[in-house]
Amino acid sequence: MPLSKLKSTNSDPKKPASDKSIISSQNLTVKYGSKIAIEDVTVDIPLKKVTAIIGPSGCGKS
């Protein structure tokens, strides 16, 4: 199907497709022994939204 015939389900790209979150975290801190991998992270990932967490190898993305 040509791209010109595809229709968006979300007419406003600034507005999330859904108000519901699939992942939500507030003030998350992760430690491995005395090493802090993640400190005070707050994230809210809406349902039906493509999201990526990027960073160098070994930085705690998992």
Q: Where are the domains of the chain?
A: 18-49
**Average pLDDT of the residues in 45-52:** 86
**Average pLDDT of the residues in 47-62:** 83
Confidence band for 1, pLDDT divided at 50, 70 and 90: very low
Confidence band for 34, pLDDT divided at 50, 70 and 90: very high
Burial 1-21, CB ≥16 within 10 A → b, else e: eeeeeeeeeeeeeeebeeeee
What is the model's pLDDT at position 29?
92
